Chain A
Amino acid sequence: MSPWSALRTVVIFVYVFMLGPILITAAVSFNASNRSQFPPRGFSLQWWQRAFSAEWLDPLVFSFKLGVSTALISTALALPLAFALTRYRFPGRAALVALTLGPLMLPALVTGVGLLQVLQYAGLREYLGFSALLIGHVIICLPFAVRTIAISLQTLPPNLELAAASLGASRGRTLWHVVLPLIKTGIVAGALFAFVHSFTDVNLSLFLVRPGEQPITVKILGFLEYGFAPTLAAVSVITLLLPLGLVAIVERVSGLGDFIYGARGRG
C-alpha cells in the first residue's frame, strides 16, 4: 500500500468518526420504536411530527430571533471597531484589542456566570431571558464579527481610499462609496459567523434563561436530563439544517472562502 493510500484510509476513518454520530442521529429520527435505537426499527415520521409541535418550535424560533438580533447588533458594533483598529493608531489601542478579543479567550461559561451575578447584584433579575441572552450573545459573538471584518479591511488596498480622497471625496463619501461596497462580503460573513455562534451556543445561555425564554440548545439539554426520545433526534437534525442552509445560501450568493479561517476560535 502506498503512503498516500494509507493516508486515505486513515482519512476515511476520521470522516466516519466525525460524521457517523450525526448520520446516526438523523437515522434514529425516523425510528418507529420509542427508543433511540440504531439501526432504526421500521420507518415512521411520528417523531418529526412531534418535533414540529409548539414545545419545540417555540425555542427554535426563539433561538432564531436571538441569533438574528445578535448578528445585527454585533455587526453594527464590529464595523466601526474593526475600522478603527485597522486604520488608526491611537493610545490605548492595544488595550482595546485585548478587550475586543477578550470574550474569545475567556470561556463563555464564565462570561455567563459573570453576567448572571451582575444582574442579580444590581437587582435586574427580571431582565433574565431574551434581554440578558441578547447582551451575552452580542459579547461572545463580537470578536468573530470584528475579526472577519478586519480581515476584509486589511486585504483592501489602501490606495483605493487614497485615490478616492485625492479625487476630492470626503472621508464619509469614501467610506460609503468605496470601502463599504468592497468589504460587503466580509460584513456578511461576520454577521453569519455571529449568527451561527449564537445559534449553537449553550455554555453562556445556560445561566441567563428563564422559563419560556430559552434557546433550543438549552431546551434540548434540559430535556436530556429526564430522558431520551427520537423526537430529540428530529429536533437535532432541524437545528443542524438551519445554519447549514443559511451558510449554503450565503456561500452561493457572495462566497465565504477565506473567511472560514477567520472564523476559527472558541466553540
Chain B
Amino acid sequence: MARDHGVIGSAAPEAARQSARVPWLLIAAPTVVLLLFFALPNALLLSASFVKSEAQQLTNEVTLDNYAFLFSWSLYIRAFIRTFIVGLSVGLLDVVLGYPLAYFLVRTRSRWKGLLIALALAPLLASVVVRTYGWYIILNRFGVANDLLLGLGLIEERIPFMPSTGAIIIGLAHALLPYSVLTIMGSLQGLNTNLELAAMSLGASRTRTFLNVLLPLSFPGIAGGFILAFSIAISAYATPAILGGPATQMMATAIYGFMTQLLDWSIGAALAVILVVCAMTLAYAAARLGAREGAL
C-alpha cells in the first residue's frame, strides 16, 4: 500500500522524473495561495504577538508584555496546565480504548469486517459540535446519566457532571478516538501474524507475546495515535466550549475570548503562538518516533 512509501516526502520514482527544472506552471497558483493565505497570516500573527495593540489595531511599540501578561495571571497559567492535562488524558484514553479495537479490526475474520471498520470511522463524518451535543444530553444535570443513576437508586440528588474538566476529557476522547484507531491500525497492519504464532510456539504466554512482541512492534502506531489525539485535543475549541465553563478555560477558549470578547488581539496572538509551539513540538516528537505517516 502506498502509505508506506512516503508519498510526498520521498523522492519521485527515477523513471518518471523527467527534469530537474522547477515546474513553475504546476506549482505557481497553489504556492501563491499558500503563501498569501497561510504563511503570511501566520507570520503576521507571530509578529503581532510582540507588538502592543490598541482597539484591534497594532501600534509601533515592540514589547514582550503580551507574553508576560499571560504568564502573570494564575487564570491563564491554570488554563495552560488544564490544556496539558486534558491533552495527556485524551491521548492516553484514546490509545487504551483504540488499541483493542484496532487489533480486533485488523485481525478479525468476520464477514462484517468492512462494516465494522466503517462504523469505527463514521463518527469522523460528524462535526465535533454534533458529537459533543450527544455528551451534553448524557451529562447535563437533567441528562441521561443522572436519570439512570437516580432510577437505579445509586444517587439521591442530581450530580452536576458538567461543566467540568472530566466532561471535556470524555467528550474529546470520544471525538478523537477514530484518529488513534486509524493510526494504530496502520502499524498493526504491517505486522505478520506469524510473528505472534512463532513467539507462542516457542512457549511464550499470550501476555508475554503481547508485551514482548506485539507492543514493541506496534509502538510507532501507539505513539502516533497518542500524539495525534494529544495535539488535536489541545487546540480543540468546540468541546471545551460546550462541556466546560468559565471555570474550565483551556487555551483555545481563552484565545477565542481574547479575539471576540476582550478584544486584545496581541495577547490572543501570543496565546496562539504558544499553542502553535506546543503543537509543533508534538508533531516533531511524532516524526522522531517514526510515527509519521507515509503520505504525511
Chain A contacts to B: CB under 8 angstroms: 3, 7-8, 10-11, 14-15, 17-22, 24-25, 28, 35-38, 77-78, 80-92, 96-97, 99-111, 113-118, 120-121, 135-136, 138-139, 142, 146-148, 150-155, 158-159, 161-162, 171, 196, 199-203, 206-207, 216-217, 220-221, 224-225, 228, 232-233, 236, 239-240, 243-244, 247, 258, 260-262, 264-267
Contact = CB atoms under 8 A, between A and B. Distances in A.
Interface of B: 1-3, 5, 7-9, 11-13, 15-23, 25-27, 29-31, 33-35, 37-42, 44-45, 48, 56-58, 97-98, 100-101, 103-104, 119-131, 133-138, 140, 142-144, 147, 174-179, 182-183, 186, 206, 228, 231-232, 234-238, 241-242, 252, 255-256, 259-260, 265, 268-269, 272, 275-276, 279-280, 283, 293, 295-296
Nearest to B110: A8
B136 A114 contact: no
25 contacts: A11-B104, A14-B98, A15-B119, A17-B177, A20-B138, A22-B126, A24-B134, A25-B130, A77-B29, A80-B29, A81-B30, A81-B31, A84-B23, A84-B27, A87-B17, A113-B272, A138-B33, A147-B7, A158-B13, A203-B236, A224-B129, A228-B136, A239-B130, A240-B130, A260-B182
Contacts of A102: 34, 38-39
A266 B137 contact: no
Contacts of B15: 158-159, 162
A222 B138 CA distance: 20
Contact of B129 (A90, A110, A221): A221
Given A88-B26, A154-B2, 19 more contacts: A10-B101, A24-B144, A36-B143, A77-B29, A80-B27, A100-B30, A107-B234, A113-B272, A138-B33, A139-B37, A151-B7, A155-B2, A202-B129, A220-B127, A224-B241, A228-B133, A233-B137, A244-B125, A267-B236
Contact of B11 (A89, A109, A138): A89
Contacts of B182: 260-261, 264
A18 B123 contact: yes
B26 to A, nearest CB: 4
Contacts of A105: 279-280, 283
Contacts of B135: 21
A109 B275 CA distance: 10
B8 A264 contact: no
Contacts of B38: 99, 102-103, 111, 139
A129 B196 CA distance: 55
A220 B147 CA distance: 25
Nearest to B207: A3
A66 B217 CA distance: 43
Contacts of B1: 258, 261
A217 to B, nearest CB: 5
A69 B86 CA distance: 35
